[in-house]
Structure 1
């Protein structure tokens, strides 16, 4: 089977990484319900940009995940595939998060949801479990893929190192100053760009030289 699909997959991976960073930086750096409602009211364009960016990032990253297969060593293909499938669940779920952002915007602007009502909604068990499962799948799959890349040594060590760093600091990101909380997503975006570049380099190096 040919590998003509690889440049398209790596381009999708790189585009998804950029859109993911754009969406994360567009969101207000706070988890307080009152400030989120205020941002919907006064920063409507940024809120919509974040929702659209997360949706398009979900599409791009999903189409870009097969690029990792090119870099997995044969002896770790099975574990790598497991990691990719788990990660794919979290990435596809990002589109659902984008839909929730749009829904939250509509409820705040049309219904006039108060901070107390929003706080009560955020503690809904079904919503919290669903969001936790999506984020759990994202980070678990990312960690498995990072460890497979680390063992395979098909990419520079900083690439899986950045992926592991992104996972490790996820629970601590809210402790950073507001203007630095986007660094975690930037680290992930740079790592994904590194994967896209390395996969393209190895693909180009494996192609036979065409006669002049």
Structure 2
């Protein structure tokens, strides 16, 4: 199998990282479920932009994750592949999050929904389990890949460390001030961008002997 796909996958990974950060920073922050309805009505354009960015990030990240495999040594390829597959379930599921945001916006604009209704919706077991599955797959796959990259010693340690910081910040991110809650996404975006650059460098190194 050739390597012509690698720069395209790396570019897709970088694009997905930028789109994910854009979505996280554009989505109006809210610390309480009851504030969501008012946020949708006041900042409709930002809500739409965040939804579109989440969907495009889902597509780009899913296409970009295979580029990470080129950074994993042969001995850890199986574990790395498992991590990428699990992570891809989470990235694909991000498109479902985008669809939910669009559907919720349409519901708020058509139906007179109250904050109490939103809180009851958030307690729905099907929705809760679905979101837990998507986020769980995203973080679990990211954790496996980060640990493999950290142990492989082929990358600067700060790159997989950014992924681990992103995971570690997940349980406490909602406790931060609203202005700082986007930092977690920025950390992930930085790690993914670095991985995209390193995979492109690996591709260039493979091509160098052939061009001499």
Normalising by the residue count of structure 1, what TM-score does the alignment of the two structures yield?
Answer: 0.97
Counterpart-to-counterpart distance in 2, 1:81 and 1:31: 36
Per-residue deviation, residues 11-38 of structure 1 (Å, max 9, x unmatched): 0000000000000001122241222111
The answer (yes or no) to whether the contact 2:31–2:178 under 8 Å persists in 1 is: no
- 2:35 aligned with 1:35, yes or no? yes
Q: 1:210 — aligned with what?
A: 211
SS for the counterpart of 1:2 is coil
1:88-167 superposed matches below 5 A: 88-167=88-167
Could you list the runs of 5+ residues in structure 1 that have no partner in the other structure? none
Counterpart-to-counterpart distance in 1, 2:117 and 2:161: 41
SS for the counterpart of 2:118 is helix
SS for the counterpart of 2:3 is coil
Per-residue deviation, residues 80-131 of structure 1 (Å, max 9, x unmatched): 0111111111110000000000010011111121111111111001110110
More divergent stretch after superposition (23-32 vs 156-165): 23-32
Counterpart-to-counterpart distance in 2, 1:161 and 1:191: 8
Counterpart-to-counterpart distance in 2, 1:140 and 1:31: 25
Normalising by the residue count of structure 2, what TM-score does the alignment of the two structures yield?
Answer: 0.97
Alignment RMSD: 1.0
Counterpart-to-counterpart distance in 2, 1:34 and 1:177: 17
Per-residue deviation, residues 139-166 of structure 1 (Å, max 9, x unmatched): 0000000001111122211110000010
SS for the counterpart of 2:29 is coil
SS for the counterpart of 2:108 is helix
Counterpart-to-counterpart distance in 2, 1:194 and 1:154: 13
- 2:190 aligned with 1:190, yes or no? yes
